[in-house]
Amino acid sequence: MLHRDDARPQNLHTRDVRRLLGDVHLAHVDVALQPEVRGGGGQGHAVLPGTGFGDDLLLTHEAGEEALGHNALLAGFQGQRQWTDHSPNGDFMEAILNSSFDWNGTRQPYLVATENDALNGVAMLFGHLLTCTAQMFSDVRTYWSPAAIRRVTGHTLSGAAEHGVIHLINSGASALDFSGRQSVAVKPFWEITPAEVEACLADTLWPPAIYEYFRGGGYSSEFLTRGGMPLTMSRVNLVQGLGPVLQIAEGWSVDLPDEVNKALVDRTDPTWPTTWFAPRLTGKGAFSDVYAVMGNWGANHGAISCGHIGADLITLAALARIPVCMHNVAEAEIFRPSAWNAFGMDKEGADYRACANFGPLYGKR
């Protein structure tokens, strides 16, 4: 428990987080299936030793429910609103699991999709497997045009943001790596130094969850992504009669003046993590302008990876037989299997035809 003289909700700061982390104990499953005796004489759930997960066969037969997520690559949390109307939200859990560090130090991120959005989770998984770095789950929340920002704040956008920005913000949880306080934006966990962990923590606040969304209480993670980071936003959409398709948008994070950022963030929620995203425009199609990028996005969620990895995603999608319906990657950077050349000269159309012809590599049997 946090003890404060003032009983009103307060922001959690780094020192508070460290105190909380010290009290967190992960649930285990005892391979011998002996219930663990908890304080107060209560019986805990069967637990696994912290040093290993035991025999897979034993887990399956004797602890079937606990084994459902064993060896999983991806998880999701269906918080809103089935859980959060009645219980504290999972924002702290999601933020820490998705980050490259916890109370034990640096470690590989655990990918957790907000609202149990499995399709966005798959895009997070693609990004993580290609880069070995943390991924950010975000709402593709708002398009702010230069005219609208000038009207609301008096500020004129310039640089990468001159054509407008997309407000990427998640309802309370994102990987703390995306505060951008590591020396090279977002790094693989084995390259992150203790000082960089401290910098990411110091740049993150844990405000009380807002009542409108989280009636059960809890804390949200709040940070502002540093500008100048190359980012790739992607998402898998599922189309009836077609199957999965992939969308990709490369661009950059941008900085806004403090007073401008506050005026815009306050119109959504100041307690949530914010990234201002300026996609790279091509002048045609879905990338004719910033609004068109958001207008063509298949859902209100996107998976954000640090770095411009669109070309790698396109190659991976071809191998998985997932056609790409939207991207702003230069043609010279794209590699697909040579067999795709037999399906026509229009590259995107050929991609659809080849994926349909060869069929998915993975699926229900």
**Pick the catalytic residue: 91, 94, 115, 177?**
115
Mark whether 139 is an active-site residue: yes
**Pick the catalytic residue: 139, 222, 269, 351?**
139
Q: Most distant CA pair in the chain: distance in Å?
A: 72
- Whole-number Å distance between alpha carbons of 132 and 122: 15
Let me know: does 279 contact 345? Beta carbons within 8 Å.
no
Interacting residues of 68 by C-beta distance below 8 A, sequence separation 6+:
none
Percent helix, percent strand, percent coil in the chain, to nearest 5: 35, 20, 45
- Whole-number Å distance between alpha carbons of 312 and 241: 26
Please spell the DSSP secondary structure of 298-330, one letter per residue.
SSSEEEEEES--HHHHHHHHHHTT--EEE----
Mark whether 115 is an active-site residue: yes
How far from 140 is each of 78, 170, 295, CA to CA, in Å? 19, 8, 10
Let me know: does 77 contact 111? Beta carbons within 8 Å.
no
- Show which residues are catalytic: 115, 139
